[in-house]
Structure formats: structure tokens, C-alpha cells
Amino acid sequence: MSKFNAKEVNEINAIIADIAKVVKPKSEIGARDRATLNGLLTANKIEKEPVFFKCRKEYSEAIVNHFVREKNIARNKFHMAAQGFVYVIK
């Protein structure tokens, strides 16, 4: 796990607060860029729409891990580490 300074922790907590407003118990969370994820969803015929949240690449894994470990939200199969967007599929 990466060590973050106080400023980075505040930025991560702000993003987590935004995501927490959208996430539901049956949701899936992951990190991937918009174009690639939309292409993967279309190719796999998944009808659900993702909600994207912009973040720094260094924070994406920590944010996803928070929801997977603390909130017991499922990690999506299209998740990748170090991505510029975190997404939630409802």
C-alpha cells in the first residue's frame, strides 16, 4: 500500500465521498479509461451504464481497494491499476 501525505489523503477522501453517493450494495467498482471501458462493455453486450469519476492515476488503486475492502463492493472484471478514472457500474 502506498504512503500518502496529508494533502493526497484529503484529495482521496473527497473522491471517495463523491463515489459513496452513487455506489449501491449490488454495484461494481473499478478503474479504467472511458473509451476502453465503453468498448469492453459494448463488446461483451453489457447494458449497464458506468458512472465515471476523475482521479489521479496514483490514487485509483487506493480508492478501488477502499470500496472493495471496507464497503464489500465487488471489483469489476475490467478493472486495471493506475488509471485516470474510477467507475461504478450500478
- How many helices (DSSP H) and strands (DSSP E) are in the chain? 3, 4
**How do the domains of the chain map onto residue ranges?**
6-89
Q: What's the pLDDT tens digit per position in 28-39?
A: 999 999 999 999
- Whether the CB-CB separation of 23 and 64 falls below 8 Å is answered with no
- Other CB atoms within 10 A of residue 4 CB: 14
Task: Provide the pLDDT for residue 74.
Answer: 96
Angle between helices 6-20 and 57-70 (to 10 degrees): 60
Q: What's the pLDDT tens digit per position in 46-69?
A: 999 999 999 999 999 999 999 999
pLDDT confidence band for 20 (50 / 70 / 90): very high
Task: Provide the pLDDT for residue 3.
Answer: 86
Residue 1 has pLDDT above 60, yes or no: no
Contacts 24+ apart (CB under 8 A), 34-40: 34/85, 37/78, 37/85, 37/87, 40/78
Q: Residue range 40-46: average pLDDT?
A: 95
